């Protein structure tokens, strides 16, 4: 039997406000445990929550970016459950009347473009954090995160593979960073994912029983967890068993999911409107004011890069996936006009490899956009070859200075003197008589490949500094 997977994602995005969603306590990562939770966050008697207007603005901003409906009236509700890191015994969230609904976003996976629906994006407060390290036999509770503002983005169950799920997650991650509503830092918990996974026979329209995998905090783990869960459910059904609706956790060390608890239904949480918070009411003027504040979004930027710089769909898609990368590209092209394609190639090639090797983001890289542009200008004007440029780039990465400084100090200027190159070409021909004869005995269509041997010999003699174009021209002339 052929099976189809059905996947929906719930993305919990911490909003980058200075204060929390319902209090004036600092919304900041990394402080000493339990120093950023005030009486409101703890739900102490006699305190009242007040909605943070900036949180509302950020939610509207996201809704506009995904072409969603923005509710003119939305309501906060109490979601009741008992857990050690939830001091009030309930979480303030939104249920029946969320602020954002019915959005959509395009994803690309393996060359296929699909539109995925966004069911809703609602506002809520975060819970605290249970800490196990350093407390043998006990659980520590850090309430600094309690009351931090979240927007929970819920997709339609329209994703059909782990690859599509990752593509969707990356697209939302990129979007919230472009909108500057979240830093998207997955290591710090600013961007977390719950994945709902089920399987059904191919052609079936009814949804299968789903399992929810909680709190996955990397793109790689999302892909691994979903692939494991799909295989687990198929094997379970084919063995004659039924899938149980439950919440599961992913163990990256064992690359498997394991049961955590039976999945709750909405009525288990006893949702009801929060009596301490009035409805959020906004009008069309407010929405239009926020719309005017929207930046250029990734899809708009991708199209502009293709039109303005003549880049391919792949190149422009790679560059705009990260706002920092897109900004770096444009800064480099400003300094090196006409070099858009080489800039893109170096960002995706040498620069990308160096960043991956040192586990750095592009904004923390050791070669700035201006420095890369300076290097590419030296390739463009013939001062150095592409091969020498890689040597110069590595020296720049190690802190040896600008491209011009390194070229000058290390004597790396390309040899363009025709007489000098001609002498090296003659030496290479004289020292390789057998290869010369082979070249001359070969048909024209095979000579282009054979001439590469002689180019290599000349470049070795010049220590890589001979102009490759001149070398090719002189070799073709003198070998014929």
> Could you list the pLDDT tens digit for every one of the 480 residues in the chain?
799 999 999 999 999 999 999 999 999 888 898 899 999 998 898 899 999 999 999 999 999 999 999 999 999 999 998 888 898 999 999 999 999 999 999 998 888 889 999 999 999 999 998 888 878 888 899 999 999 999 999 999 999 999 999 999 999 999 999 999 999 898 888 999 999 999 999 888 899 889 999 988 899 999 999 999 999 999 989 898 888 888 999 988 888 898 887 766 667 788 999 999 999 999 999 999 999 999 999 999 999 999 999 999 999 999 999 999 999 999 999 999 999 999 999 999 999 999 999 999 999 999 999 999 999 999 988 888 888 899 999 999 999 999 999 998 887 776 555 666 777 777 777 777 777 777 776 777 677 777 777 777 777 767 776 777 777 777 777 777
- Domain covering 418-479, topology: Arc Repressor Mutant, subunit A (1.10.10)
Q: What is the pLDDT of residue 423?
A: 76
Q: What is the pLDDT of residue 81?
A: 87
SS3 for the chain, per residue? CCEEEEEEEEEEEECCCCECCCCCCECCCCCCCCCCCCHHHHCCCCCCCCCCHHHHHHHHHHHHHCCCEECCEECCEEEECCCCCCCCCEEEECCCCCCEEEEEEEEEECCEEEEEEEEEEEEEECCCEEECCCCCCCCEEECCCCCCEEEEEEECCCECCHHHHHHHHHHHHHHHHHCCCCCCCCCCCCEEEEEEEEEEECCCCCCCCCEEEEEECCHHHHHHHHHHHHHHHHHHHHCCCCCCCEEEEEECCCCEEEEEEECCCHHHHCCEECCCCCCEECCHHHHHHHHHCCCCCHHHHHHHHHHHHCCCHHHHHHHHCCHHHHHHHHHHHHHCCCCHHHHHHHHHHHHHHHHHHHCCCHHHCCCCHHHHHHHHHHHHCCCCCHHHHHHHHHHHHCCCCCHHHHHHHHCCCCECCHHHHHHHHHHHHHCCHHHHHHHHHCCHHHHHHHHHHHHHHHHHHCCCCECHHHHHHHHHHHHC
Instruction: Parse the chain into domains and list their residue ranges.
Output: 3-289, 296-409, 418-479
Q: What is the pLDDT of residue 419?
A: 67
Instruction: Look up the pTM and report it.
Output: 0.83
Q: What is the pLDDT of residue 447?
A: 74
Q: What is the pLDDT of residue 430?
A: 76
Q: What is the pLDDT of residue 443?
A: 77
Report how far residue 19's alpha carbon sits from residue 147's, in angstroms, rounded to the nearest whole number.
Answer: 9
β-bridge pairing 211-216 and 246-251: parallel
Q: What is the pLDDT of residue 431?
A: 78
Q: What is the pLDDT of residue 426?
A: 75
Q: What is the pLDDT of residue 455?
A: 73
């Amino acid at each position: 039997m052929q099976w189809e997977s059905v996947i929906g994602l719930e993305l919990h995005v911490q909003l980058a406000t200075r204060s929390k969603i319902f209090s004036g306590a600092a919304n900041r990562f990394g402080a000493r445990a339990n120093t950023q939770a005030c009486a409101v966050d703890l739900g102490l008697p006699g305190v009242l929550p007040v909605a943070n207007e900036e949180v509302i603005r950020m939610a509207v901003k996201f809704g506009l970016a995904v072409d969603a409906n923005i509710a003119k009236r939305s309501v906060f509700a109490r979601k009741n459950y008992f857990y050690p890191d939830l001091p009030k015994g309930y979480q303030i969230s939104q249920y029946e009347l969320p602020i954002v609904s019915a959005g959509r976003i395009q994803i690309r996976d393996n060359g296929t473009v699909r539109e995925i629906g966004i069911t809703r994006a609602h506002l809520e407060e975060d819970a605290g954090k249970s800490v196990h390290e350093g407390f043998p036999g006990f659980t520590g509770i850090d309430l600094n995160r309690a009351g931090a503002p979240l927007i929970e983005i819920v997709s339609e169950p329209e994703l059909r593979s782990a690859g599509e799920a990752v593509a969707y997650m990356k697209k939302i991650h990129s979007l919230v960073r472009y909108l500057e509503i979240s830093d998207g830092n997955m290591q710090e918990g600013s961007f977390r994912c719950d994945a709902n996974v089920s399987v059904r026979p191919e052609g079936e329209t009814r949804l299968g029983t789903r399992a929810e995998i909680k709190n996955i905090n990397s793109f790689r783990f999302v892909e691994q967890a979903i692939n494991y869960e799909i295989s687990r459910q198929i094997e379970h059904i084919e063995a004659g068993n039924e899938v149980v609706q439950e919440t599961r956790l992913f163990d990256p060390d064992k690359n498997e999911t394991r049961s955590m608890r039976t999945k709750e239904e909405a009525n288990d949480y006893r949702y009801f409107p929060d009596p301490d918070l009035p409805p959020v009411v906004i009008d069309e003027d407010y929405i239009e004011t926020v719309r005017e504040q929207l930046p250029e979004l990734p899809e708009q930027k991708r199209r502009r890069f293709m039109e303005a710089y003549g880049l391919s769909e792949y190149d422009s898609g790679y560059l705009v996936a990260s706002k920092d990368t897109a900004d770096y590209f444009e800064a480099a092209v400003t300094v090196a006009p006409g070099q858009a394609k080489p800039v893109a190639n170096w960002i995706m090639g040498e620069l990308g490899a160096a960043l991956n090797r040192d586990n750095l983001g592009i904004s923390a890289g050791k070669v700035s956009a201006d420095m890369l542009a300076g290097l590419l200008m030296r390739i463009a004007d013939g001062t150095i070859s592409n091969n020498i440029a890689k040597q110069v780039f590595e020296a720049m990465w190690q802190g040896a200075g600008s491209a011009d400084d390194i070229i000058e100090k290390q004597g790396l200027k390309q040899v363009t003197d025709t007489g000098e190159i001609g002498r090296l070409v003659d030496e290479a021909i004289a020292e390789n008589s057998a290869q010369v004869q082979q070249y001359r005995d070969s048909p024209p269509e095979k000579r282009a490949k054979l001439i590469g041997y002689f180019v290599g010999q000349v470049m070795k003699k010049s220590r890589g500094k001979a102009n490759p174009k001149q070398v090719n021209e002189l070799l073709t002339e003198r070998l014929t």
